[in-house]
Structure 1
Amino acid sequence: MAETTIFSKIINGEIPCEKLHEDELCLAFNDIASQAPVHFLVIPKKPLVSLCECLEEDRDLLGHLLLIGKNIAKSKQLKNWRTVINTGEESGQTVFHLHIHFLAGRKMSWPPG
């Protein structure tokens, strides 16, 4: 089982967020440590630490997270954005609850890190 994280506290309503979407599978909200003019997160309510923990049974959940993010991006009239999933500390993951970053509103450079 995943440890208690800031994201699990947000899911449980213990910490407020600027909610963009919520359903039975996920929650999306604006990132408080924004790295771009538009920066929101989509997180599963299922307590997965990272992609490393995902199983075949999580296939539909992972697709759902991406489609929800795409729908939010489209609702913001975005035509370009970057999606990022950090997996593990060396990749830059700081909250150990799976989450997808959606970043937009500025030109992105490559490589990102």
Structure 2
Amino acid sequence: MHDENCIFCKIAKGEIPTSVVYEDDKVIAFDDMEPLMPVHTLIIPKDHYSDVADNVPEDVLGHLFATVQKVADIKGIHEDGFRLLVNTGENASQSVRHLHVHVLGGGLMPRPNDQDWGTSATNAAEIHGSSAE
């Protein structure tokens, strides 16, 4: 199943060229066009699921995440560590509504709780130096 308007479906079908890192019959991994780290690779299922909460079959999720180690090995970040990121929905800033895993590495990344998550954070008052009411 594909969504004809989805850029990732078009990449999966080979309609849009990309820098392929890994591919098999179920997934394709490619370098992000706007990388946030020296290594920033996306892994997507070839079938269309809008996000991780879109009734994705367990075997698809398992294969998607099993591909992470292969990508980390190919990109040379397995030994030094890497981060996985899966955004789900608008509030998580999911920019393409096709399930994808970001594999980030190649440098030191701050821990998520060392970042300012803005006024929506549960510790926003502490971060911004105001008292919670």
TM-score, normalised to structure 2, is 0.77
- Counterpart contact for 2:4–2:10, Cα < 8 Å: no
Unaligned runs of 5+ in 2: 118-133
Do the aligned partners of 1:26 and 1:43 also contact (CA within 8 Å) in 2?
yes
Instruction: Say whether residues 1:81 and 2:82 are aligned partners.
Output: yes
- Aligned residue type for 1:71: K
Deviation, 1:2, is 4.7
Q: Secondary structure at the match of 1:27?
A: strand
Distance 1:3 1:15 in 2: 12
Whole-Å separation in 1 of the counterparts to 2:60 and 2:89: 20
Match of 1:24 in 2: 25
Aligned length: 111
Q: C-alpha distance in 1, partners of 2:84/2:4? A: 25
Q: Once the two structures are superposed, what CA deviation does each residue of 1:44-64 show, in whole Å capped at 9, x if it has no partner?
A: 011100011124xx1111111
The two structures have a TM-score, normalised by structure 1, of 0.89
Name the structure, 1 or 2, with higher relative contact order (CA <8 Å, separation 6+): 1
* Superposition deviation, residue 3 in structure 1: 6.1
Distance 1:33 1:101 in 2: 12
Distance 1:59 1:107 in 2: 32
Indicate the residue corresponding to 2:64 in structure 1. Answer: 65
Query: Which residue in the other structure is 1:9 paired with?
Result: 10
Alignment correspondent of 2:93 = 92
